């Protein structure tokens, strides 16, 4: 499943250590905006099977090679995965993940210069039963100016604003 299609042109990328996290994927030549760079390959499994494989992880361990395709299917790039599984997240990415007919591709959304690290926005979906420290667990270290601090999506809504001073005064007098 992870073998490249012989008709596909090898993408100009290499896997090496990343300043963002662990290993990352870097351009070895200029990549044009819009180019389909690499398919995210791996074993196609159900959500139940993904839970069975990985739900026992330590609570603070956010490392995952899973990519959710739809309500039925998850790609586990820990099995039969290719280089695409090492593309890190950024809040200001140069790539995007595109799902087409159940397959996942990493496409360039701007020109990428040689030596640049490839990134896409993981947009890991929040879930109703997320623990309170979920944002710390999935903290983003992309270091970009507009880093939202988390790989989760949507970003946490802003906390409720305190009431304006006049209403606080009125409450105090009413006590
Ligand atoms: C698909 S792997 C990417 C490859 C990873 N760097 C490695 O060496 O295995 C996804 C994991 O990398 C880490 N990661 C990727 N981008 C990150 C970022 N911007 N900030 C913090 N951790 C990140 C998280 O642990 C995430 O679950
Ligand atoms: Zn970020």
pLDDT in tens, the chain (175 residues): 444 454 567 999 999 999 999 999 999 999 999 999 999 999 999 999 999 999 888 878 889 899 999 999 999 999 999 999 999 999 999 999 999 999 999 999 999 999 999 999 999 999 888 888 898 999 999 999 999 999 999 986 445 567 776 655 444 443 3
Q: pTM of the prediction?
A: 0.86
With 0-12 / 13-18 / 19 or more C-beta atoms within 10 angstroms meaning exposed / middle / buried, residue 159 is exposed
172 part of a folded domain: no
The CB of 63 under 6 Å from ligand 1? The reply is yes
Q: Which of 22, 41, 117, 147 gets mutated to test ligand 1 (max ligand atoms within 8 A of its CB)?
A: 22
The CB of 62 under 6 Å from ligand 1? The reply is yes
Structural domain that includes position 76 = 13-155
167 part of a folded domain: no
74 part of a folded domain: yes
Q: How far apart are CA 65 and CA 67, in angstroms?
A: 7
Return the CATH number at 58: 2.170.270.10
89 part of a folded domain: yes
């Amino acid at each position: 499943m992870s073998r490249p299609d012989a008709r596909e042109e090898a993408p100009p990328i290499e896997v090496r250590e990343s300043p963002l996290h662990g290993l990352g994927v870097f351009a070895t030549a200029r990549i044009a905006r819009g180019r389909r760079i690499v398919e995210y390959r791996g074993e196609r499994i159900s959500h139940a099977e993904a839970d069975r494989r990985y739900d026992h992880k330590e609570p603070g361990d956010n490392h995952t090679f899973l990519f959710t395709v739809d309500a039925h299917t998850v790609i586990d790039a820990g099995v039969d995965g290719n280089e695409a599984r090492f593309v890190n997240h950024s809040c200001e990415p140069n790539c995007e993940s595109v799902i087409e007919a159940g397959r996942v591709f990493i496409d360039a959304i701007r020109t990428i210069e040689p030596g640049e690290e490839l990134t896409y926005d993981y947009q890991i979906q929040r879930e109703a039963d997320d623990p309170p420290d979920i944002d710390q667990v999935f903290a983003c270290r992309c270091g970009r100016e507009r880093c939202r601090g988390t790989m989760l999506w949507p970003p946490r809504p802003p906390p409720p604003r305190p009431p304006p001073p006049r209403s606080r005064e009125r409450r105090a007098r009413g006590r």
